[in-house]
Amino acid sequence: MDVVIFDCFGVLFTEGWFIGKVLAGRMAGRIDRDALRARYRRLAVGEIDRAAFWAGLVEDWPAYERDFIGELRPDPQAIPLLEQLTGRYTLALCSEGVAEWYEQLWQTYGLQRYFDVLALSSDLGVTKPVPEFFEATERLLPAAGRRAYVDDKLENLRAAAALGWHTIWLDRIGPDIDFAPDATVTELRQVPDVLPW
């Protein structure tokens, strides 16, 4: 069965810069945006745990984390799209993030039932767009079947294209680099129209 792979933030969830925008806005005055991103990068690859990430920022970090993750909302077209593709394709999610954060999102929105494969940077030990992230994701996917990858960042699509994946750019904010994906959509509901098979 062919595989459709989704990024999470900026694709299934509309906010693509949730650390740089959402959390940085909440953390204003407590930590510099760049320092927060650097700390998140370490968390996202498993170098530090969640307690170390929140250390010195908030006192009751588990409650704060639940509230922060609770602010994230899926794109209204995400669940109908996943329903449409389920059974026709193997569905995979490959994303930067922390497994516990995804567990909360899955419980809240019931998204886990759609995905056959979950490739998270915290489990893989690397983040996008380095080739090793996509190579590690490839090893988790079924051996048979073609791959189509949906992301909102062209640099990630370029790395996936190097593995022969069909690339679909969800253009929410305009180009970030010079790369021509195989297809471009502006809404999730357009994805089935550009799948090549």
Residues 6 or more apart whose Cβ sits within 8 Å of residue 59: none
CATH architecture of the domain 3-14+74-194 equals 3-Layer(aba) Sandwich (3.40)
Residues 6 or more apart whose Cβ sits within 8 Å of residue 71: 22
Task: Name the segment(s) of the chain with CATH classification 3.40.50.1000.
Answer: 3-14+74-194
Q: What is the pLDDT of residue 21?
A: 67
Reported pTM: 0.93
Distance of CA 143 to the CA centre of its chain: 22
For the stretch 85-102, pLDDT in tens is 999 999 999 999 889 999
For the stretch 50-80, pLDDT in tens is 999 999 999 899 999 998 888 889 999 999 9
Distance of CA 80 to the CA centre of its chain: 18
